């Protein structure tokens, strides 16, 4: 019995040694694998953080996430958080000290990458309300001259390049504010870009506001307005319809303008109040820019009053870059807020003529001069 027990003990001892050796072997073999695995995890983690850096400033990972094509990205794909494309807005903005451009030269801000693949919506000739889906990006098409007001409700990124507005050739009266509006931008996805370029409001027509931002709840809208020409009469007075070339009636968070000519502002030009009827949009944004703008007052109804009104200068941190006003009978720079004097030329027109000439359009076709970046 003792012998057997000894033998058993011996075998057990040997088995334990084998077990220990096996364990050590396993440990030695597994450590490199573990290290490699850890490195792989680190790399994946780093990649994830790298991708997250393309988020919109005010966006979050709870916003929509999409995968897009980019020949510069690894594997030809990139992940997009929050609806803002990698060529995000401020990064494409040129320095304000760059060589001044004149009409027809390249624009400051490019549309979001891949906008050509956005869902396409054609504006009816008579205009109307386009109900878009939040979280979906849209390209707006306007192959025909539009004769009525256009309201864009919903959607995420919106790109509208090229369009003409006609109709409404009679002197308006009564409650014509809404039917004589050009474009209204309403709420959509919270973080997004609304990109408007190449819009011409034709001569011999009457408007209230040409472009109006009526963003009641969104906080992260970046609006870009480039090469807009308003030959139509922005028809109104203080006592009647408050006609504006551009009115921000709530929002956006950031407004960037390059190229805007308006010839007949009877009451106001830019009336910008992102907190009108709501609280100031929260979150981080970019300083607002008005670049290559010429506004002309028209005194047929008593004279233009405020051609430039910024009612929330602490939010907008406005920059003027070649902004010209002429024909304001009362105030050009507004008594409400302030307008930066640098880059502003009152009682003057651009030495090279209108920043946005009508020659940019051929019929309803608009040819973009392209973008600096």
- Give me the residues that bind Ca ion (CB under 5 A), please: 209, 242, 244, 247
CB-based contacts of 186, cutoff 8 Å, min separation 6 = 151, 152, 153, 154, 214, 215, 216
Alpha-carbon distance 291 to 297, whole Å? 18
For Ca ion, the closer of residues 213 and 288 by Cβ is 213
For Ca ion, the closer of residues 56 and 230 by Cβ is 230
Q: Whose CA is closest to 208, among 237, 239, 167?
A: 237
We find the least distance from the C-beta atom of residue 177 to Ca ion, in angstroms, to be 7
We find the least distance from the C-beta atom of residue 114 to Ca ion, in angstroms, to be 34
Place of tokens 């830019």: 270
- Tell me the three state secondary structure of residue 367: coil
CB-based contacts of 48, cutoff 8 Å, min separation 6 = none
We find the least distance from the C-beta atom of residue 146 to Ca ion, in angstroms, to be 19
**Distance set, CA 29 to CA 39, 110, 146, 340 (Å):** 16, 54, 73, 69
DSSP 124: P
- Tell me the three state secondary structure of residue 6: helix
Alpha-carbon distance 341 to 38, whole Å? 57
Reading the block at residue 56, the tokens are 């919109």
We find the least distance from the C-beta atom of residue 249 to Ca ion, in angstroms, to be 7
For Ca ion, the closer of residues 187 and 276 by Cβ is 276
For Ca ion, the closer of residues 184 and 202 by Cβ is 184
Alpha-carbon distance 14 to 1, whole Å? 19
For Ca ion, the closer of residues 245 and 315 by Cβ is 245
For Ca ion, the closer of residues 222 and 247 by Cβ is 247
Q: Whose CA is closest to 225, among 190, 260, 250, 200?
A: 260
For Ca ion, the closer of residues 274 and 343 by Cβ is 274
**Distance set, CA 336 to CA 27, 238, 246, 331, 339 (Å):** 75, 15, 17, 10, 10
For Ca ion, the closer of residues 178 and 217 by Cβ is 178
């Amino acid at each position: 019995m003792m012998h057997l027990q000894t033998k058993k003990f011996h075998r057990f001892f040997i088995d334990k040694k084998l077990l220990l050796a096996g364990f050590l072997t396993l440990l030695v073999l597994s450590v490199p694998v573990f290290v490699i695995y850890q490195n792989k995890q680190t790399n994946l983690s780093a990649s994830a953080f790298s991708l997250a850096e393309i988020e919109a400033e005010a966006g979050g990972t709870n916003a929509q996430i999409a995968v897009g094509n980019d020949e510069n990205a690894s594997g030809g794909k990139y992940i997009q958080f929050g609806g803002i494309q990698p060529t995000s807005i401020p990064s494409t903005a040129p320095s304000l000290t760059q060589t001044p451009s004149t009409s027809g030269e390249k624009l400051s801000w490019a549309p979001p990458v891949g906008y050509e693949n956005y869902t396409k919506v054609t504006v009816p000739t008579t205009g109307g309300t386009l109900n878009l889906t939040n979280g979906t990006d849209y390209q707006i098409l306007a192959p025909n001259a539009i004769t009525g007001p256009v309201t864009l409700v919903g959607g995420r990124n919106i790109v509208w390049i090229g369009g003409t507005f006609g109709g409404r050739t009679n002197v308006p009266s009564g409650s014509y504010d809404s039917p004589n509006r050009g474009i209204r931008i309403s709420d959509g996805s919270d973080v997004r870009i609304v990109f408007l370029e190449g819009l011409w409001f034709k001569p011999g027509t009457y408007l209230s506001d040409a472009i109006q931002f009526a963003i009641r709840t969104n906080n992260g809208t970046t609006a870009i307005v480039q090469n807009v020409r308003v030959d139509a009469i922005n028809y109104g007075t203080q006592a009647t319809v408050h006609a504006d070339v551009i009115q921000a009636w709530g929002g956006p968070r950031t407004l960037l303008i390059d190229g805007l000519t308006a010839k007949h502002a009877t009451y106001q030009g830019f009336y910008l109040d992102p907190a009108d009827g709501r609280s100031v949009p929260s979150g981080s944004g970019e300083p607002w820019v008005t670049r290559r703008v010429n506004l002309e007052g028209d005194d047929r109804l008593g004279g233009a009053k405020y051609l430039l009104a910024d009612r929330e200068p602490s939010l907008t941190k406005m920059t003027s870059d070649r902004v010209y006003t002429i024909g304001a009978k009362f105030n050009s720079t507004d008594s409400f807020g302030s307008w930066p004097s640098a880059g502003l030329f009152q009682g003057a027109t651009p030495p090279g003529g209108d920043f946005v000439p009508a020659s940019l359009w051929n019929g309803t076709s608009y040819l973009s001069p392209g973008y600096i970046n």
